[in-house]
Amino acid sequence: MAVAEPGRGHLLRFLSTMGLTVMVIALLFHALLWEAGNLVDQPNLRIGFYNFCLWNEDTGSLQCHHFPELEALGLPRVGLALARLGVYGALVLTLFVPLPLLLAWCNRDEGERQLAVGFLAASSVLLASGLGLFLSYTWKWITLSLLGPGFVALGMAQALLILLLWATVALPQRAEKDKGKLESC
């Protein structure tokens, strides 16, 4: 029976962590860029971080509202700005995760791993708070059945961010190499 090399398990955990990171980034890109941040995209209703369009019975079409109309509808400018900052900030911070993870794995540097953990924790908090804030302001126009692929992608990204944070915290550093050998990834 063959015995697995000690470094092979660490490599597999590292690659699965990087795979999760890529999945989170792809989900955030899908929701925020491909779906244009729209959480609801129906023929008679379009609600997203940059779109707020309601059906107008008089014209028989979607009427998109902007500020100050949105404030008259009860959507505060500062609240929507904070919600946007949260979800799009989560995307930006998540983009910075792969490099510290790679450096932490290559150099066995605890500081780099802690930096990745910090980015992941901040991304998770930003995404959850931004999405929650946005939904709290728009809930009177949205029902659960109307939420579309953008919302599903953000929800999955949030769940994977939590899993990724846990995996990064629990990820043990690579086994120490012989000090006389040249280190490489």
- For residue 106, being part of any structural domain is answered with yes
Residue 29 has pLDDT above 90, yes or no: yes
Residue 65 belongs to a domain: no
Model confidence over 45-85: pLDDT tens digits? Answer: 999 999 999 988 888 889 999 888 889 888 999 999 999 99
Whether 2 is covered by a domain: the verdict is no
Confidence of residue 4 (pLDDT cuts 50, 70, 90): very low
Helices (H) and strands (E) in the chain, counts: 6, 4
Predicted local confidence at residue 172, as pLDDT: 57
- Tens-digit pLDDT profile for residues 91-125: 999 999 999 999 988 888 888 989 999 999 999 99
Residues 6+ apart with CB under 8 A from 45: 53, 54, 55, 62, 141, 146
Write down the pTM of the prediction: 0.85
Domain count, the chain: 1
In a domain, 49, yes or no: no
Inside any domain, residue 101: yes
pLDDT tens, position by position, 123-142: 999 999 999 999 999 999 99
Provide the domain limits for residue 91.
Answer: 18-35+76-170
- Which DSSP category does 34 fall into? I
Q: Which of 22-31, 112-121, 162-171 has the lowest mean pLDDT?
A: 162-171
